[in-house]
Amino acid sequence: MTDITHVNDLGECRSAIEAIDRGIIELLRDRLVLAKRSGELKHAKGLPVLDPQREAQVIRIVVANARDAGLDEESVRGIFWHILGMSRRAQQPDKG
């Protein structure tokens, strides 16, 4: 990975951003694979997909991490609520 503190060329900057975006997509895919597995484990135990306490805990953790990283907390909160929605959908039993 490029040392982002020393990027002085626009093309290099854009390439580095694209590489980071690919990494984000790969991590999101991995998260959804784990969410699907979590849903299977919940189903096997008779637990509901929706766990409001766990979702609130996840949001608290990511907002604290955002704060520590100097990121806008509300933006990160919104992104992760969307990710949690994707995760809930991934946990739904397959209809087939």
Of 80, 76, 54, nearest to 67 by C-alpha is 76
Q: For residue 96, tell me if it sits in a domain.
A: no
Side chain identity at residue 46, one-letter code: G
Q: 73-91 vs 10-44: helix axis angle to the nearest 10? A: 40
**Number of independent structural domains in the chain:** 1
Q: What is the pLDDT of residues 56-93, one digit of tens each?
A: 999 999 999 999 999 999 999 999 999 999 999 999 98
CATH number, domain with residue 78: 1.20.59.10
pTM above 0.85, yes or no: yes
Q: For residue 49, tell me if it sits in a domain.
A: yes
**Domain span at 20:** 4-91
Q: For residue 67, tell me if it sits in a domain.
A: yes
